[in-house]
Amino acid sequence: MASIGIIANPASGKDIRRLVSYATTIDNNEKVNICKRIVLAAQGLGVESAYFMPETFMIGYAVKDSLESDGVLSLSLGVLDFEIEAAMEDTVRSARMLEELGVGCIVVLGGDGTSRAAAKGITKTPMLSISTGTNNVYPAMMEGTVAGMAAAAVALMDEPYSCCIHDKRITVRVNGEARDTALIDAVVSDDFYAGAKAIWDPERIRRIVVTRCHPATIGFSAVAGAYRIVEDTEDIGFAVELGAQGEGVLAPIAAGVLTPVHVSASRTLALGEEYRFTAESRCMIALDGEREVRVQPGDEVSMTVERDGPWRVLPRKALQRAAELGMYRLR
């Protein structure tokens, strides 16, 4: 029986960057609408059950009530049962439970941080990320109907990994201990206190390590992307160091905000190669845009890029393969 999971983050797209830039806001009612289209499209292609992450806005329940009231819901729709913490751990736990349930694909609505959290909970389940956050590099802007069709196609086919890419991931270690991971970028800043978790002040940034970068993206990976392009298919990472004496580049660090920054050094990283430094003062490492790892003076920090991230669904490839397999033909 084909099934999918849906993780919709009610907090995505609401951080401090709304106050310092011109980022889009997608409210939770619109997330409900997107999820309804995902469910109906997946149902139309033959998915028989869907499971939602529990969260404070109760998106899964709203979707079920609306579609049942309209008389258009035929698949089995449920919400995972556990006591929520209204924190990132809910996403990690939901992803883990969905994989244990054996869903064929997990659709994630949120930003880079939501996708990072979901990826921490899975090892093999294909993941399809839709952008409803800020400065998104990892999730794609995608219509819910298309996302539901792609998720269903992957869940129904015998060889789902043929429509996925095995993504890279950064592992951050402090004094030899693995502390956390990032899917897109790890950014070292002079900030030490988390406050608002989102990182946004370029004057406090000292180092950036990325799995991929391009000037067509928004956020701190765009700083590296203004210097060199690294694609998701390339088996390398890239690191830049910032300083007042470096070469100036213009980068879109936030929506509507092009900022001059100065790159003092850069380095291409082979997969598994360590990027190391010793902290000279207290600092914070932000992972995919969110402050997560505190570092003390004298700490030895290392970052490695490896291809051990999640299996990310390539929607166009999945839908093309579905056509080849005859999934759209009426029977």
**Residue % of the chain over a pLDDT of 70:** 94
3-167+310-324, CATH topology level? Rossmann fold (3.40.50)
Domain ranges of the chain: 3-167+310-324, 169-306
The pLDDT of residue 18 is above 50: no
Instruction: Give the model confidence (pLDDT) of 104-153 as tens digits.
Output: 999 999 999 999 999 999 999 999 999 987 668 999 999 999 999 999 99
Instruction: Give the model confidence (pLDDT) of 224-255 as tens digits.
Output: 999 899 999 999 999 999 988 888 889 898 88
Q: What is the 3-state secondary structure (H, E, C) of the chain?
A: CCEEEEEECCCCCCCCHHHHCCCCCCCHHHHHHHHHHHHHHHHHHCCCEEEECCCCCCHHHHHHHHHHHCCCCCCEEEECCCCCCCCHHHHHHHHHHHHHHCCCEEEEEECHHHHHHHHHCCCCCCEEEEECCCCCCCCECCCHHHHHHHHHHHHHCCCHHHHEEECCEEEEEECCEEEEEECCEEEEECCCCCCCCECCCHHHEEEEEECCECCCCCCCHHHHHHHCCECCCCCEEEEEEEEEEEEEEEEEEECCEEEEEEEEEEEEEECCCEEEEECCCCEEEEECCEEEEEECCCCEEEEEEECCCCEEECHHHHHHHHHHCCCCCCC
Give me the pLDDT at residue 193, please.
67
169-306, CATH topology level? Tumour Suppressor Smad4 (2.60.200)
Instruction: Give the model confidence (pLDDT) of 177-197 as tens digits.
Output: 999 999 999 999 988 765 555
